[in-house]
Chains A and B, each alone.
Chain A
Amino acid sequence: MKYAFSFLAVIALVLIAGLGSQIPGMPYLFGVALPYLALMIFLGGCVYRVVQWAKSPVPFSIQTTCGQGKSLDFIKHDRLEAPNTTAEVVARMFLEIVTFRSLFRNTKSEIYDGPQITYESSKWLWMFALIFHYSFLVIVVRHMRLFLDPVPVWISWLEYGDGLFQVGAPTWYITDIGLLAGVALLFSRRLITRHVRFISLMNDYFPLVLIFGIALSGILMRYFLRTDIDIVNIKQLAVGLVTFSPTIGAEIGAIFYIHLFLVCALLAYFPFSKLMHFAGVFMSPTRNMKNTSRAKRHINPWNPRILPHSYAGYEDEFREFMVDAGIPVEKELAPKKDED
């Protein structure tokens, strides 16, 4: 049901944009007002969330060490997995963020008669995630050509690389296929893998369907409905948007507004959703802290003043036993009064 709702929601968005943009005057809403609004929500929301996180301190040094810490000279230190310096932390974070290192470690457990539990390396999730995220990244970067005039040469190189396989006309970008495939794989994983299905919320299905909608509308526009749109007008609008002088020339075509509206929906949804993991991963204390907590004191800004049950109180309670047992005490026993 949760995924069905997600489809319905995205279909509703498509209808709103497809029909709405055809009403005279409305292109300005869909082409100018909403993109600005969505971008503001996106930027403002992301900044707000990061500031909210940053407001809470990190009271304790809670790094997860995934390798040998630095100790004695002859014990080989795992600099990436138990970092001791800022550079080592940066390297650890870099590999985490760029190569999804923790996911690369993933294993799949099976339990057999015996009982016998096995752990097998399982790289599927890692692969799907890489395909999805990198395709998305390259596509976003490629889209910069619409906003920049003249188009920087490195974007052309990127496009050239992306279209290297020379399939179809116009040439298909490998990342377009990658994004569609990535989303489809991640989505089907949620349906098929039983434990992932059990934990999945609408919050998990919806962004995937939305991104699928964005990719699909983009692909339709580029490869199949090319005659319905006017690329020159789109470029004019895009450049206008970034120079704060947007103009919409001739009619652009409903498919463009659908694509754009879905992107706006994603931008506006972004800060309120799990998609914020893109920023959160940088701030995760188990990954971004040094394993130097015994060598250098970490400060807790709200460290409460709490004293131990005092030695004096302890000795008061047990002094007699301690003296009897020959354990040194701070205060000798009061001399016993002779009783006749």
Chain B
Amino acid sequence: MAVPKLEQLSKSVVQGPSLATGAIPTMDWMEYPAVFKSGNYAYPAKSEKVAYLDSQSGLHFPNSREWSPEDDDWKLPADWKEIILKGLKERLEKFRSLKIFMDCCVRCGACADKCHFFLGTGDPKNMPVMRAELLRSVYRNDFTLAGKILGKMAGAREMTVAVLKEWFMYSYQCTECRRCSVFCPYGIDTAEVTMMLRELLHLVGVGINWVLEPVSNSNRTGNHMGLQPHTFKDNVEFLVDDVESLTGVRPNVSFNRKGAEVLFITPSADVFAEPGLYTAMGYLTLFEAIGLDYTWSTYASEGGNFGLFTNNETMKKLNAKMYAEAKRLGVKYIIGGECGHMWRVVHQYMDTMNGPADFLEKPVSPITGTVFENAASTKMVHISEFTADLIKHGKLKFDKSRNSHVKATYHDSCNTARAMGLLDEPRYILDHIVDWVEMPENTIREQTFCCGSGTGLNTDEIMELRMRSGLPRANAVKYVHDKHDVNMLACVCAIDRATLTSLMDYWNPGVRVCGISELLANALVLEGENRADLDDGFRTML
């Protein structure tokens, strides 16, 4: 599906008839069907990927088949409706959040224009409240007295194939960024709703390939790129070579080494493609500079967890590798690289799902002696926390002028901001290494806008959708690009590094995307370095 020209889309988002631009729908929302056409949906998961996952212990991915969203017949199992309703009942019993969020919404509409999908598409069903109503209407019909008695009058509707199709469309037009939950007076979190919808859809074999293929890769090879151990090692070693040729210092690396003090885990995208590669070079350079005793793992070679975009069982199974590997290698604790949703899992789920990690020790920085009390139980420290602490103690020497080609701004990734509260550590680092400015206040920190392609929506067949949903973020970058000549969008998220690059190329050509660790390494003065004049930092072609 071709992406529309910038001029076309720029006009369309402002003038196209949509709820965001002022067009008022004439029918009741229940009357509008979800219509699938090329470009507005992500490809369904390949049958063999679903079957593979179903064969794995602890996972449940039944009803694998070839199907297409554009077909009338989705080849659902005969008892699909019972499966869905039973699944919903089970989840209401397992998750208080779901019950509360189904019952408490007053439809005040505070969330409506907080969603980047709504702002970019103007589709009323992309208002968070409406997205939840898609499920809430079925919940009312089958699980509440008022709905059972009053039916449609009380906003209830029967579960039908059309409803299921609508669920598929809109649970994959949500990146579970949780921005709406900041503004909701009851803290209703659409991510919880979307996660449940996706779980339910998987029960009837409805899922997307861009989520399930990475999941099966992560399960089998340890990382979502599907890099096998030797390839993973090769990739990292290429980066080691690059760092050496740029700085004259060759970082020491090891893989699956027992007895290392620290296990380092980062999203595999960082060792796979630009611009993540430069972030990975940043980690290598930093760890070399402080002489950290650490190891990479090829088995736990993925920080990201596409299970989070699937169901809680899959999230747990993928995440379990981190502790399993830490235990096998006998490390003291884990440091995690720059990634958004990985850190949602690590901060909010890991210990609960796979803890207690009593075979690890409370993380202590070997360089500064700082005890990371905030990670006392999970035993996993964020690279930005670790780095900020080093800077505070004067353990790193910077030459800020090495970043003089950069004017940066900082993008808070949704998960580190709203599911962790990691806001000021990256800013603290930036203050020491680069000249940077903030984007407008309603688009940063807890109010940050998603890149528009998270939760497995980073796939090319929905590029127009991604450019639309990324518009609020891109627009805020444009503001500082125009006003302050910002040319670099720094972030702490691997999905951001991949997707914001496409987004900037489309909306704001001239703005590049990088990880914090890349800028850090640019400015870092290494002992014994023999550094050429790198006018583009670590991106300089020698």
Chain A residues with CB under 8 Å of chain B are 5, 49, 52-72, 74-76, 78, 81-82, 96, 100, 102-103, 105-109, 111-117, 119, 125, 129, 193-204, 272-274, 276-277, 280-281, 283-287, 291-300, 302-311, 314-315, 317-318, 321-322, 324-328
Contact = CB atoms under 8 A, between A and B. Distances in A.
B255 interface: yes
A325 B234 contact: yes
Contact of A309 (B100, B101, B317): B317
Given A307-B320, A309-B56, A311-B325, A281 B185 contact: yes
Given A96-B185, A117-B472, A297 B388 contact: no
B471 interface: yes
Contacts of B423: 67-69
B103 A61 contact: no
Contact of B103 (A68, A280, A292, A325): A280
B238 to A, nearest CB: 13
Interface string B364-395: 00000010111111101000010011001000
Contact of B185 (A100, A116, A200): A100
Contact of A294 (B377, B424, B472): B377
Interface stretch (B34-42, B166-174, B176-184, B490-498): B176-184
Contact of A57 (B94, B114, B380, B419): B94
Contacts, number: 338
Interface string B81-109: 00000000000111111111101111111
Residues of A contacting B: mostly:
loop
Nearest to A2: B153
A111 B185 contact: no
Given A283-B96, A297-B377, A108 B113 contact: yes
Nearest to A287: B187
Of the four ranges (under 10, 10 to 19, 20 to 34, 35 or more), the interface on chain B belongs to 35 or more
Which residue among B96, B98, B188, B378 has the maximum number of chain A CB atoms within 10 Å of its CB?
B96
Interface stretch (B21-29, B514-522, B530-538): B21-29
Given A71-B374, A108-B113, A201-B154, A324 B421 contact: no
Contact of B110 (A103, A277, A283, A285): A103
Contacts of B245: none
B177 to A, nearest CB: 11
A306 B100 contact: no
B405 interface: no
Given A74-B392, A100-B185, 8 more contacts: A68-B422, A102-B110, A281-B104, A293-B352, A294-B377, A297-B378, A306-B59, A322-B256
Interface in B332-378: 346-349, 351-353, 355-356, 370, 372-378
B144 interface: yes
Contacts of B58: 304-307
A277 B355 contact: no
B230 interface: yes
A195 B428 contact: no
Contacts of A293: 347-348, 351-352, 378
Contacts of A106: 110, 183
A126 to B, nearest CB: 9
A206 to B, nearest CB: 9
A71 B25 contact: no
B207 interface: no
A199 B133 contact: yes
B106 A277 contact: yes
Contact of B112 (A53, A75, A119, A196): A196
Contacts of A284: 97, 100-101, 104, 186-188
A75 B155 CA distance: 47
Contact of B153 (A5, A102, A107, A318): A5
Contacts of A286: 97, 178, 181, 187-189
Contacts of A66: 182, 418, 446
A115 B422 contact: no
Nearest to A83: B421
Contact of B348 (A62, A203, A311): A62
Contacts of B325: 311
B348 A57 contact: no
Given A106-B183, A199-B109, A53 B154 contact: no
Which residue among A63, A112, A306 has the maximum number of chain B CB atoms within 10 Å of its CB?
A306
A129 to B, nearest CB: 8
A59 B230 contact: no
B363 to A, nearest CB: 10
B441 to A, nearest CB: 9
B159 interface: no
Nearest to B362: A295
Which residue among A57, A109, A309 has the maximum number of chain B CB atoms within 10 Å of its CB?
A309
Interface string B218-243: 01111000001110011000000000
